[in-house]
């Protein structure tokens, strides 16, 4: 039987950007095994995040301009997406461009957002579609140019019905802003009496996030040799396992993904509890 809260959730569900079944137990580990994949036989992370960091340094080490690193980095994404799909990851988030990145040289910003991102999306749209991969974009899309928004819309709508791997590309993204936007939606829902203040708890709040339909990240692969969160999914990453890798993104290969997953599989997830306590 539906509870009052379920009814309330149904009432405001239309506010969420993507209308798909929300997952209640967002931080539970996956139950599927990796099979014969090149990762361990332990539980797979359902949602893997990778920060595509280190493009600039990769280029500088080769005496090339920074955008050469972004170009090389854009070429790496496809192989990692296919590897994630092959081992059965449910959601792969690629953190491509933060809100703070807007402060970079406009020429660098333009090459990333006007050239490389739309090209990477449109070049592989058909292939991803055939493989059942769904492309989503998380972030302030309205800050992007009309042309880039158009490419994004086309790829998202072409892959919307796909039920395989979700590739969630974070662009013009800020974790703090995602929380603030959720607060604004909550206030709207309260004002319109779609929810009551007494119903508001952590689970309900999380549904108002732009990424509220996704499971929380289980594994955050921080490549580029830094250990920062960098304003990413601040609400959702409360219990995410972070695996920093001293690999610059253009050098990132499927083996690094498998290695990070094996590291994840060795770390017992406690969620603040004491293991084996009844």
Residues 226-245 that bind ligand FPP (CB under 6 A): none
Judged by CB under 6 A, how many residues of this single chain contact ligand FPP?
A: 20
Q: Are 24 and 216 in contact (CB under 8 A)?
A: no
CA dihedral of residues 229, 233, 238, 242 (deg, nearest 10): -40
- Does residue 55 interact with ligand FPP by CB under 6 A? yes
For the bound state, the minimum distance from the C-beta of residue 201 to ligand FPP, rounded and expressed in Å, comes to 34
- Does residue 112 interact with ligand FPP by CB under 6 A? yes
- Residue 56 or 215: which CB sits closer to ligand FPP? 56
- Residues shown for the chain: 278
Position among 169, 206, 219, 247 found at the interface with ligand FPP (CB under 6 A)? 169
Q: How far apart are CA 83 and CA 68, in angstroms?
A: 24
Stretch that binds ligand FPP, among 93-101, 177-185, 202-210, 259-267 (CB under 6 A): 93-101
Can 231 be counted among the known catalytic residues? Answer: no
- Does residue 223 interact with ligand FPP by CB under 6 A? no
- Residue 39 or 169: which CB sits closer to ligand FPP? 169
Q: How far apart are CA 106 and CA 104, in angstroms?
A: 6
> In sequence order, what E strands does the chain have?
47-51, 91-98, 134-138, 166-173, 219-222, 241-244
Q: How far apart are CA 278 and CA 270, in angstroms?
A: 13
- Residue 224 or 244: which CB sits closer to ligand FPP? 224
Tell me if residue 245 falls in helix, strand or coil.
coil
Q: Is 40 exposed, middle or buried (0-12, 13-18, 19+ CB in 10 A)?
A: middle
Position among 49, 83, 96, 151 found at the interface with ligand FPP (CB under 6 A)? 96
Q: Which of 6, 24, 63, 101 is catalytic?
A: 101
Stretch that binds ligand FPP, among 11-19, 90-98, 239-247, 257-265 (CB under 6 A): 90-98
- Does residue 133 interact with ligand FPP by CB under 6 A? no
Q: What are phi and psi of 93, to 5 degrees?
A: -100, 130
- Does residue 120 interact with ligand FPP by CB under 6 A? yes
- Residue 106 or 275: which CB sits closer to ligand FPP? 106
Please report the DSSP string for 60-80 in residue order.
HHTT--HHHHHHHHHHHHHHH
Q: Which of 6, 36, 41, 53 is catalytic?
A: 53
Q: Are 168 and 94 in contact (CB under 8 A)?
A: yes
Can 251 be counted among the known catalytic residues? Answer: no
- Does residue 168 interact with ligand FPP by CB under 6 A? no
Structure tokens at 162: 């796909």
Stretch that binds ligand FPP, among 5-13, 19-27, 109-117, 196-204 (CB under 6 A): 109-117
Q: How many CB atoms lie within 10 A of CB 22?
A: 17
Binding site for ligand FPP (CB under 6 A): 52-57, 70, 73-74, 77, 94, 96-97, 101, 112, 116-117, 120, 169, 224
Q: Which residues are catalytic?
A: 53, 101
């Amino acid at each position: 039987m539906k509870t009052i809260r379920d009814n309330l959730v149904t009432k405001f569900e239309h506010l969420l950007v993507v209308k798909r079944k929300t997952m209640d137990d967002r931080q539970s580990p996956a139950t599927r095994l990796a099979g014969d994949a090149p990762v361990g036989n332990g539980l797979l992370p359902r949602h893997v995040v990778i920060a595509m960091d280190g493009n600039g340094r990769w280029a500088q080490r080769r005496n090339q301009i920074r955008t050469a690193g972004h170009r090389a980095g854009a070429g790496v994404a496809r192989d990692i997406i296919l590897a994630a799909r092959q081992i059965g990851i449910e959601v792969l988030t690629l953190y491509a461009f933060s809100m703070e990145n807007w402060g970079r040289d406009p020429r660098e910003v333009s090459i990333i957002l006007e050239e490389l991102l739309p090209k990477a999306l449109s070049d592989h749209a058909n292939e991803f579609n055939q493989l059942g991969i769904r492309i989503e974009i998380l972030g302030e899309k309205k800050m992007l140019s009309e042309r880039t928004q158009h490419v994004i819309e086309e790829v998202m709508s072409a892959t919307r019905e796909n039920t395989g791997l979700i590739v969630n590309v974070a662009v013009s993204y800020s974790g703090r802003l995602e929380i603030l936007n959720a607060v604004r939606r909550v206030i709207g829902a309260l004002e319109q009496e779609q929810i009551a203040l007494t119903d508001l708890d952590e689970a309900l709040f999380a549904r108002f996030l732009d990424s509220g339909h996704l499971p929380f990240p289980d594994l955050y692969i921080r490549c580029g040799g830094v250990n920062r969160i960098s304003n990413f999914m601040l609400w959702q990453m409360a219990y995410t396992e972070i695996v920093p890798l001293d690999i610059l993104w253009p050098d990132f290969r499927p083996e690094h993904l498998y290695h990070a997953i094996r590291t994840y599989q060795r770390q017992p997830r406690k969620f603040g509890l004491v293991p084996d306590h009844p």
